[in-house]
Structure 1
């Protein structure tokens, strides 16, 4: 048994470590933290975010298959995935709007929000994060691409939204999660905590070691991982990585710190409890890895979401002032105009119970759906935490809080200002009347779009975040509303500038009988 450290040295370490801990009132809230801040089986909501092509929609597909929400996993490349089901997404093989899907995992209802990765489509990401209990940042094991996640990481840090990192595509031979974590740490305000280390065979990653349980797993493509003995080649690496992992969480946990200073070992239960508290308080960022394409590491990610992320109360607190104590209240975070079924308002229930046919936002709810991509199952009612699609609420808008009496805007998600414009016109003059109505629906779906007539050039301008953003909108006009639209760069309304002063004098005389005309005119023109 190793010798215990000297008492004086131990006390000095305790005092020094206590000085750098950041959890406010950790000792005072210890009893409260012992009870998880969530209701068993309460509906939970997680947002999948990350750069373009990081594999978010493939991860969504893997999570839905692992939870049994879908019988067979689809593929983005083959065009049969639950997410990215719109024609414009299929054509580009990339997310062009928020995908919403529900599932059940170990008896708990879940909603997964697959956010578009292109920076020009970020408005829906911000809207989705307003209702998410936690976010999963999906990225590639490539340090060079870490800079792409800097804006969204800053937003998560600023808004104090609990988040995890899932390093995807670990089946690639050049994958190195530690290098990726170091690059991500450079753009993250919170400490990143590597929860696993890879097991490699040659240049391939074939499994992982969990640093909490110290158990090793071998990946099996398309199936659950297989528990194996800890391989000898990774034992030293696992020991060093676990020590670093425990030191990081000890900065926020007195009990863990005390055990480490006494050269003891915290139990897995104590470590998991500490991780849950730290993530709920947004003090750390746990890092997992795997391959969504091969279903590797997906179930471990889902278990972490279930056991360690906060419950729906955390998201509801962002709307603490909305509605009465027991008044049915919901927040609309997405609007969609379906070609045949009409307007759908996607909302999360904050409190109370919403039933089909009740009055909400001053209107009658015309149906409640539990979404699964472009499809949905009818519901009679929905309780706190549930994410549902509400039918026929014509006056509800994205970003509004709905109570039975009113629909009020809530400044939760930021609104992106327009940066780029295209001049658009219909190919058929008869379609000009339809264009304004169709654009109004698109703007209702995506508040980062807007349109206007330019009085100086006479052009009809569509404004958005960039070329990709606007051409996605133009494709929607064609596919949903059968409007063929041509787009050009807007004309520049050139204007002349007075650059120096000038004076002129003239006289006007006219005499042709009767009253004559006379004028003495002096004109001075100069710059302001």
Structure 2
């Protein structure tokens, strides 16, 4: 571990790192809000291992990829990206995740592919609500974690304050392993000062002014390690005043970190802390052998004996990220959990169960293309990918994010990871006919990449709707359509599907009598219409006596009524909750027909709309909002301002509350954005359609006026 030494690293620029055994791999996901310094930290680790130069360039003999390009940085800020490197013979796969809540799908994918998490917190900005929630998510599955406080050289840096906030937010077991001091780091276990002022770390004795600081924090660190130690005698020996051998403490620390019981805090700044962090990753974080595999079944749900992370075992791999490029094609980032993946082998692709979001389920065979190790824009070819490792696979035409790859003769399916629901609807249409022709294919590619995107073709409102995670997510999707696929689209106002119904009972006549020479039309029907209770649907009652309307034409009247109900009678929305009774009419022996009575039924319903009030109905959702206790009052007040009815609250865990309410859909089309702002990123909500209710008169007048203007 880095407290032992700041030893040399291994890594060759331009050479794809490869692993032959799972124990020689570490998969680490970087978690933190935007601006915390994740990407800068990745570049520092790449430079420290010689994977890239200090200026951010990597040579492979023919290609130069610049990590400092604006375009690359922008892509990394909204995408899960892989940066492989080698330190002391251990391959480290760094999974850099987006720092925006809108791209939590990529973050969840990173958690799935990793065996440990590195929480990146800025010494200048501190932690945010989303980072706290993700810490809890990692805790729920026992994922090993460490914290690195970055930007310790920033003019507004306050390491001590941020350390305290991390301990308060993350709970017990969070303790500093290093402290920043005077252009270097104090190693608390070895009680040495690592001086970075000369560019290369040099170990020195600490000066007198740091002794008190070392004693204060070192005691906290040792007590935390001993509490997690399997040697129960250590605490008694320590409390009795015995000096515990640092080697024993380091071994216990490594074990405690690997099993997720202790969370060391490190420090990083310009040119400082990379070596220490690399040692924590390679010696404190677990290898894939120590991380349980997700549940695996046959493709029809049958049980499968527990698999191990064995390169010689049956192949089970998962696509954790898909990217498409109009020139390069589709690239799939794949984590191999069992077996070994090789170029040109044929694998079975099993679907992921997200058909409701526009992602088709798969059950096909595909041939593996080139395997590579990505670094920036460069893809460095590799010969294989063993269990526990991560690779990029070229030209998998059918596989999408979340799909399972397995042996074609033994298809398997890996339990999918939890994916958040997209709750921000964005209606779009193509700018031109040329864009419209290309839009369908471009959207299919976006859907293949992003399982948090849901595509809806709403037949009722005749709108194409992208269900997104938030405004930034929507902006990125539309930008990709334009720049990557050359498809220009415009946002349009979202239409919420309303309904119409009658506000009272009345009688009306439909008269369809036309004599134009030759065969004419003759149909007269008398209807009584009345509203049904909410959810009553449609009821048609036949009260014809004496054959005034021949039996064969009674279904024709009903069909005409149903057709007009679909068209609406007020603002073009379908009618619901109506009872229609046919009680009288007239027919002609020659000129009456099926179509004549359909038209008469339709005309009768229109006439009824002119005799009695017609109501517009709006959909009402039941929503459940989960927020920190600090924001409950604001959320409840906001829901009330949206014409909502708060049903109640209940505590969830520690410090969080679930608020349940009924709110009209018209009022929550942008609630995903507003809730995030209100709750500082800590709130989440779910929505379920409940029923239709009358739209207030002043709002109904606006809808009708707008419809007539169109």
TM-score, L = length of structure 1: 0.82
2:85 to 103, 110, 122: 103
1:269 to 232, 247, 264: 247
User: CA separation in 1, counterparts of 2:327 and 2:525?
Assistant: 71
1:342-381 paired onto structure 2 within 5 Å: 342-361=329-348, 362-381=365-384
Native 8 Å contact 1:83 1:99 kept in 2: no
Measured after TM superposition, the shift of residue 297 of structure 1 is 0.9
**2:191 counterpart residue number:** 214
**1:491 counterpart residue number:** 495
Q: Deviations over 1:398-451 (max 9, x none)?
A: 223311126655334211111112222222212213211111111111100121
Q: Which moved more, 1:113-122 or 1:399-408?
A: 399-408
Shift in alpha-carbon separation, 1:264–1:142, aligned structure 2, 3 A: same
Native 8 Å contact 2:295 2:415 kept in 1: no
Correspondence 1:384 to 2:387: yes
Q: Which moved more, 1:102-111 or 1:481-490?
A: 481-490
**2:604 counterpart residue number:** none
- What is the SS of the residue equivalent to 1:397? coil
Native 8 Å contact 2:24 2:89 kept in 1: no
Correspondence 1:42 to 2:40: no
2:401 to 395, 398, 403: 398
1:524 to 521, 530, 533: 530
Q: Deviations over 1:55-103 (max 9, x none)?
A: 111111111111111124339xxxx98669684x65x586010111111
**1:427 counterpart residue number:** 431
**2:419 counterpart residue number:** 415
Shift in alpha-carbon separation, 1:509–1:360, aligned structure 2, 3 A: closer
User: CA separation in 2, counterparts of 1:54 and 1:382?
Assistant: 32
Correspondence 1:178 to 2:156: no
Measured after TM superposition, the shift of residue 142 of structure 1 is 4.5
1:314 to 282, 285, 290: 290
Shift in alpha-carbon separation, 1:69–1:255, aligned structure 2, 3 A: farther
Native 8 Å contact 2:435 2:489 kept in 1: no
Q: Higher strand share goes to which structure? A: 2
Native 8 Å contact 2:31 2:96 kept in 1: yes
Native 8 Å contact 1:57 1:83 kept in 2: no
User: CA separation in 2, counterparts of 1:507 and 1:436?
Assistant: 44
Q: Which has the higher contact order (CA 8 A, sep 6+)?
A: 1
Native 8 Å contact 1:146 1:184 kept in 2: no
User: CA separation in 2, counterparts of 1:224 and 1:413?
Assistant: 42
User: CA separation in 2, counterparts of 1:439 and 1:428?
Assistant: 16
Correspondence 1:134 to 2:121: no
**2:549 counterpart residue number:** none
Correspondence 1:287 to 2:293: no
Shift in alpha-carbon separation, 1:178–1:408, aligned structure 2, 3 A: farther
1:498-509 paired onto structure 2 within 5 Å: 500-504=503-507
Shift in alpha-carbon separation, 1:81–1:249, aligned structure 2, 3 A: farther
1:113 to 73, 79, 95: 95
Shift in alpha-carbon separation, 1:48–1:407, aligned structure 2, 3 A: farther
- What is the SS of the residue equivalent to 2:484? helix
Measured after TM superposition, the shift of residue 174 of structure 1 is 3.4
**1:32 counterpart residue number:** none
User: CA separation in 1, counterparts of 2:223 and 2:103?
Assistant: 39
Q: Deviations over 1:137-192 (max 9, x none)?
A: 11112576443421211111112211111101101233222321221223224421
Q: Which moved more, 1:251-260 or 1:226-235?
A: 251-260
Q: Deviations over 1:354-386 (max 9, x none)?
A: 221112223221111122122211122222222
2:131 to 130, 142, 149: 149
TM-score, L = length of structure 2: 0.62
Structure 2, unaligned runs of 5 or more? 1-19, 58-63, 297-303, 349-364, 516-521, 535-710
**1:301 counterpart residue number:** 277
User: CA separation in 2, counterparts of 1:260 and 1:199?
Assistant: 27
Measured after TM superposition, the shift of residue 239 of structure 1 is 0.8
Native 8 Å contact 1:84 1:96 kept in 2: no
Native 8 Å contact 1:130 1:315 kept in 2: no
**1:243 counterpart residue number:** 219
Shift in alpha-carbon separation, 1:300–1:144, aligned structure 2, 3 A: closer
2:326 to 339, 344, 347: 339
User: CA separation in 2, counterparts of 1:415 and 1:84?
Assistant: 32
Aligned pair count? 475
Correspondence 1:51 to 2:33: yes
Q: Which moved more, 1:461-470 or 1:346-355?
A: 346-355
Structure 1, unaligned runs of 5 or more? 1-37, 201-205
Larger Rg: 2
User: CA separation in 2, counterparts of 1:95 and 1:408?
Assistant: 33
User: CA separation in 2, counterparts of 1:490 and 1:84?
Assistant: 39
Shift in alpha-carbon separation, 1:82–1:41, aligned structure 2, 3 A: farther
